[in-house]
Amino acid sequence: MLRPKEVCRHLGISYATLREYVKEGYIKPVVLQSWRWRFREEDVEKLMGIVRRKVILYARVSNTKEGDLMNRVKYLEENV
């Protein structure tokens, strides 16, 4: 069982976002007491497959050869 702080660290989200995920039904806590949440590791792993960060790449080259630009884009995609 994971504590909310550990879940936030694994998912890379804030506690407020975790509360929203619970409210929206994306993940369900196991309530030990009325104020204490714990989460199953399987549920967190399942949610990790859904939560993805959006990354925007910007590629630019100084010459007009299309191959250079495509190589730069490929390099950025592989190393993000």
Instruction: Give the number of C-alpha atoms closer than 13 A to the C-alpha of residue 62, restricted to the C-beta side.
Output: 0
Residue 52 has what pLDDT? Answer: 56
d(C-alpha 63, C-alpha 49), whole Å: 39
d(CA 24, CA 27): 8
Tell me what the mean pLDDT of segment 8-12 comes to. 90
Q: Which of 5, 62, 63 is nearest to 38 (CA)?
A: 5
Q: Are residues 8 and 25 both part of a single domain?
A: yes
Domain co-membership, 58 together with 80:
yes
The kind and range of the H/E element at 52 are: none
Same domain, 40 and 8: yes
Q: What pLDDT is recorded for position 29?
A: 93
Total of domains in the chain: 2
**Whether 42 and 61 share a structural domain:** no
* Alpha-carbon Rg for the chain in angstroms: 19
pTM comes to 0.57
- The string of pLDDT tens digits covering residues 15-57 is 999 999 999 999 999 987 777 899 998 889 888 876 556 677 8
Q: Say yes or no: 24 and 37 in one domain.
A: yes
For residue 36, the enclosing domain spans 4-48
